[in-house]
A and B are shown apart, each in its own frame.
Chain A
Amino acid sequence: MASEHPASSTNPESADPAVERTDPEGEPGAAADAGPADGTRSRRDKAAALRHLMATEGETVGENTRGFNRGTDEAIGRLSNYEDLRKQARVIKEDAIAELPDLIDRVTEAVEANGGSVYLVKSKSMTTEELECNAHLEKEGFDVVETDLGEWVIQIAEEAPSHLVGPAIHKSPEEIATLFNERFNPDEPFSGDPDELTQFARDAVGEHIEGADVGMTGANFVLAESGSIALVTNEGNARKTAVTPQTHIAVGGVEKLLPSIRELEPFVELIGRAGTGQDITSYVSLLTPPTDSPVLDFDAPDESMEAGDREFHLVLVDNGRMAMREDSQLRETLYCIRCGACNNSCANFQSVGGHGFGGETYTGGIATGWETGIEGLDSAGEFNDLCTGCTRCVNKCPVKIDIPWINTVVRDRANRGGEDGEFSFLVEGLTPDAEPGGLDVQKRLFGNIETLAKLGSAAAPLSNWITGTRPVRAVLDRALGVDARRELPQWRRETVRDWAGGRASSADADREVVLYPDVYTNYAHPERGKAAVRTLEALGVRVIVPDVGESGRAPLSQGMIATADRAASEVYAVLAEHVDAGRDVVVIEPSDLAMFRDDYEKFLPERSFERLRENSYEIMEYVYGLLENGADRDALSGADGAGTLAYHSHCQQRTLGLEPYTTAVLSDMGYDVTTSDVECCGMAGSFGYKSEYYEVSMDVGQQLEAQFAGERDDGSTLVASGTSCSDQLEALFGEAPPHPIELLDPV
């Protein structure tokens, strides 16, 4: 590229602004002060940075991501074979990554046979080149222009992208107009009309493409057999950039390789639907350069053209990826096709955007995997805690990546890389966990919530009075990062286990179950547990409330995997005997049920996991089954029908597909039920209690508040399945909504 002429750079617009993005990274921009900083930043600084982002970018990010998210729901809904396509795509990616070295050899052979060249960039020292290609080229005297309009906007603004497929998703038309007015000083200032802005940008960028000597693109997929690249765009910029200049350079991560055109189909079917809600993007360009098509001379358009002497260079970037391939936990990150679904479906992302929930290059939940593999743990550790493990991205990922698990693993690794904290002594002794000494005290506190609950319950109500005082709350906030603006759980002296142990069980029951006494039900909300016991008994079921510990959900959410693993084994040891005795396991708290149904797969032998999974039920799911099998609904309260309900299901409950059981039972009992469709209440276990995230939590909660405000005014009763959701609704509306089971309670 011995030229001082403009080069033109592009990036497949709707799917891949990450590796192939060639915009200047990390330049100081409007949002730079809110981006990742050093790891020692205090909780207060982090809260301030997130507050700033929510104030400046949150509204635009929220509107755009929620729009995409609704669109993807609809597009997926129109697709009858969505699950089949996901499975196919997953298997193809698993195989391709498994045979990656072979695919690299094959694509090299094919591209060279076509007349192009292939470069495999291996060295870790190429990291900066990967991420700062534009800056590097500009230093060498090249004029580099982004051709995707979103990329172009952030290139002009000197900002980092805020989203995997919509790099300028944080900017409103008015802000773009202001930017253009400042930069281009037009005779007639731009007003913020999207048509006008697009027309201007199209013309300005188009000129550069016509005059460019080199076109640089990414590649959404690289086909080894034919040496082809697939570019997925809506604007048409990628193909224009690829085929207009004489020389085409395509830069892609090695994980983009697929064997051949035959494996591409499920990805083309999925990428637009999952990313932006389009059945297919405007263009899917399959290019096998160099072709011998003539190069256009825009200065002499009428001259007869001859077959062009075109050049093609394919740059395959390793830069940590081959090591990720060897990392059993990070490996599935390489299956990612950068559709952005995990950005859009994430409630926290909708509030803070990719400048908060993102690292050096990547954004959103999957960014944790990419940043850990490519930049290192420090980059990922800066934003990884914004993943609450709510699992709303899981069913949206077109290649079935367990994104919450990757976040948990990386959190665990970050925990183990930490230093001894200043306030560790405050939680020593509270913490019978299996974690290293350097674990952050806040994580250690929330990860050991069961110990705290036991102590709090034993000393209640005194413990509640003490922790409710202002000086204690101030210490909790400063030392442990428990936000003073949150109401703390009120521990109860009599637990569900105490209560159940002291009462006579119905003798002539048809069947027996064990009711799992989760920490929150047992120690803080025993009324839910009592209602569950009485309801099951009224439906002819004998209920045992066993002495069993916390499921491991609390430590898992803090990245304390060893502690969660130990809890899983202990809980299973208790429950297995009941399952063997023919008793089903009934669970009130959805996040604990999700452990039994999903997360325990990581911790238990396969047979044990399957046995518990198959015999575990959410309480309303179980009631539904009993009623369907002839149990007497007249034995329950509310059977006459009483009013309207506004029901908020729990995120993990929805991912498991269990929301319909609750709404069906409540409707069956005569209630008129409205449901929320926000992805999360914002509380998400400990997240909403944490000082640095309290405001994000409340911002997320405001979406739920907006949905239910009208219902509330019309006299609907609020109902929620999760303890967290219930606490959050109480914070938003001033009173704690009951669990649905309490509406059925025959007492």
Chain B
Amino acid sequence: MSLYPERHVIVVAASDVVPDMPAAFDRLAEEFDAGLDSQVLATGPSATGDMGSLVRGVHGPQEVHVAILEDR
């Protein structure tokens, strides 16, 4: 599960990158219809402001790296 390690490396096909939120939701709706109805929108390291200032790395990873593969 992507929450336990301190570093999360995401490998994405360039063809899976969508331009904006409406496009992302169109795709989510299609996938929900196909029964893939547990999905996570993860946008960066887990973070909190609860201890007085922004701290990265709480219950989820401290670092997130995204590798985009273009040759598919």
A residues engaging B (CB < 8 A)? 13, 64, 147-150, 153, 166, 168, 171-173, 176, 192, 194-195, 197-199, 201-202, 205-206, 209, 225-226, 228, 234-237, 239-240, 243, 260-262, 264-265, 268-269, 276, 280-289, 291, 296
Contacts and interface: CB of A to CB of B under 8 A. Distances in A.
Interface string B38-50: 1111111111111
A198 B60 CA distance: 12
B43 to A, nearest CB: 5
A291 B38 contact: yes
Given A149-B58, A282-B46, A240 B3 contact: yes
Contacts, number: 128
Interface residues of B, number: 30
B47 A282 contact: yes
A235 B41 contact: no
Given A282-B45, A287-B38, A291-B38, A166 B59 contact: no
A194 B42 contact: no
Determine chain B's interface SS by DSSP, over half rule.
Answer: loop
A265 B40 contact: no
B59 A240 contact: yes
B63 to A, nearest CB: 13
B25 A262 contact: yes
Given A166-B50, A197-B51, A240-B59, 17 more contacts: A147-B59, A172-B52, A198-B55, A199-B57, A209-B59, A234-B48, A236-B60, A240-B1, A260-B29, A261-B25, A262-B25, A283-B40, A283-B46, A286-B41, A287-B38, A288-B37, A288-B38
A70 B47 CA distance: 19
B25 A168 contact: no
Contacts of B59: 147, 202, 205-206, 209, 235-237, 240
B22 interface: yes
Given A194-B51, A226-B32, A262-B29, A236 B46 contact: yes
Given A226-B37, A268-B41, A281-B43, A237 B50 contact: no
Contacts of A153: 50
A497 B59 CA distance: 67
B21 A195 contact: no
Interface of B: 1, 3, 21-22, 25, 28-29, 32, 37-53, 55, 57-60
Contacts of B48: 13, 149-150, 198, 234-235
Contact of A286 (B37, B49, B55): B37
24 contacts: A64-B49, A149-B50, A192-B52, A194-B51, A197-B52, A198-B55, A198-B57, A202-B59, A228-B38, A234-B48, A235-B47, A235-B58, A236-B3, A240-B1, A240-B59, A260-B29, A262-B25, A280-B41, A282-B42, A285-B41, A286-B28, A286-B37, A287-B38, A288-B37
A176 B51 contact: yes
A261 B28 contact: yes
B26 to A, nearest CB: 9
A173 B51 CA distance: 6
A235 B38 contact: no
A280 B43 contact: yes
